[in-house]
Amino acid sequence: MNASLEQENSKKEQDLSKMKRNALILLGFAVVLFVAANVYRIDWLKALSEAAMVGGIADWFAVVALFRHPLGIPIPHTALIPSNKDKIGENLGNFVSDEFLIREKLEVKIDQFNVAIKASDWLIDEKNANIVAGLIAENVIPGVLKTIDDAEVQHFIQMQFSGKLSKVNFAEWIALGLESLAKSDKQEELVTNVLKTLIIELQNNKHLIEEKVKSSTPFLSFGLADKKITEGIFNGLYNFLEQASHQDSTIRKKVNNYVLDFITELKESHEMQQKVNDLVFGFANKKEVQDYINGIWLEIKTAISNDLDQKEESTIKKSIANMIQGFGKGIQSDQLMMDKINNFIKNDVLSVLINNKKMIGDLISSTVKSWDTEEVSKKLELEIGSDLQYIRINGTLVGGLVGLLIYAVECFLQSFVV
C-alpha cells in the first residue's frame, strides 16, 4: 500500500515538473519574440511579446505566492497557504461541522447510497474477500497467537474440562448404553463372541496354567500331581465357557440377570454412581491425561501456524474468504438484515456523528494546525500545482493576445489623429 502511494506521488511530481517546464518554455518563447521584435523593429510583435511576458511573469508570481515567497523574498501577502495554515484548518473544521454534518443532508445521501447493498457487494467480490482474509490471516491471527499466554490457555482448558466432567453423571450414561444393548440382540452376540474368544485364548495358553500349577504345588510331589491338576483346571474352565456360550444355558441367563441388576444399580444406587464417577475423575486426573489435555492447545496452535505459513494455499485463509463472501450473500438475501444495517447507519452512527460534530471539527482543525508548514505547501502544490500551471500558460497566451489587441487599437486610433 505504501509502495503504491509512493508511485502515485512520484507520478504527480513528474506531471508537476512537466507543466512547470511547459509554462517556462512558453515564457522563454515570448522573451525570444521580444528580442527578435526589437532587433528587426517589428512593432506588433514587440507589443505581443511584451504583454505575453508581463502576463506570464505576473501569473507565475501569483501561483508561486500561494505556496512560498517568490525567489525567497518575503514580499507581503505571499506564501499565503503556509501563512494561513491555522486559519485554513479552522475554516475547514467549521465547514465540515456546520455545512457537511447536517442530519437532513446526510440522511438523503445514506438513503441514496444504500450502505447494506454497497457493503455486501464489496464483500461478495472474491478479490475483496481475499484481501480481508489475507489481512486477518497474515496480521490478526498471528498477532493473537503471539499475545496469548500458553499456560493460561492450558489452565483454562483444564478448568473447562474438569467443570464439564463434574456436571456429567457417567453412571447414567453407562446405564443407558447397557440398557439399550440389553434390549437388542447385540448383547447376546457380544457375550457369545466374548465367550468364544475366551475359549480360544484358554486353549492357546494352557501351558501358562501348567506353569502356574507347578510353581504352586509342593516340591515333594515331584510333579506327579501337576498334570492332573492342570488338566482338571483346564477342563473345568473349558466346560464352563463352552456351556455358557449356548444361549439357553443357565450360566448365560445368570449373566443376563447380572447385567440387568447392574443396570438397575447404576440407575438407582447413588453409591454405585459415585464409584463410577470417581473412577472416571480419577482417570481424568492422571498425569498422562493432563499432559494430553495440555498438549491439545499446543497442537492447535502449531497446526494454525503451519497452515498460515502456506500463504495463498492456507485452508484457514480460504475458509475466512468463503465465510466473508457467504456473509455478504447472506445480507443480500435477507431484506430485514439490510434494513437493520441501513437503519443502524442512518440512526445510530449518524447520531454519533451529529452529536460530536463540534469535536470532529476541532479534530480536523487541530490536525491541520499540527502539520508541518513546508510539508503542507508541498502536498497541496503536488495535488493542484499541475492545474495551476495552466494559469501561467494562459496568462502568457492571453497577455500576448491582449497586447496585440491593444497595439491594433492604438494603430487604429493613430490613423484618425494623423
Residue % of the chain over a pLDDT of 90: 26
b (16+ CB within 10 A) / e for 213-246: beeebeeeeeeeebeebbeeebeeeeebbeebbe
Does the pLDDT of residue 225 top 80, yes or no?
no
| CB distance 110 to 344 below 8 Å | no
Does the pLDDT of residue 89 top 90, yes or no?
no
Cell 457417567, located at residue: 170
101-144 pLDDT, tens digit per residue, is: 888 888 888 888 888 899 999 999 999 999 999 999 888 888 88
The mean pLDDT value for 41-60 works out to 94
Q: What is the number of other CB atoms lying within 10 angstroms of the CB of residue 353?
A: 15
| CB distance 400 to 52 below 8 Å | yes
Kind and range of the H or E run holding 172: helix 170-182
The mean pLDDT value for 317-340 works out to 91
At residue 220, the pLDDT reads: 42
3 state DSSP class of 205? coil
Per the prediction, the chain carries an average pLDDT of: 84
The mean pLDDT value for 225-243 works out to 75
Number of H helices, E strands in the chain: 21, 0
Q: Which residue has the higher pLDDT, 188 or 10?
A: 10
The mean pLDDT value for 294-319 works out to 88
At residue 10, the pLDDT reads: 86
The answer for residues whose C-beta is within 8 angstroms of residue 308's C-beta and 6 or more apart is: 137, 138, 141, 142, 314, 316, 317
Burial class (CB in 10 A: 0-12, 13-18, 19+), 83: middle
Distance spanning both ends of the chain, measured CA to CA: 73
Q: pLDDT confidence of 1, banded at 50, 70, 90?
A: very low
181-216 pLDDT, tens digit per residue, is: 666 666 677 777 777 788 788 788 777 777 776 776
pTM: 0.49
Per domain, the residue ranges of the chain are: 2-83+372-417, 114-333
DSSP string, 38-100: HHTT-HHHHHHHHHHHHHHHHHHHHHHHHHS-GGG---TT-SHHHHTHHHHHHHHHHHIIIII
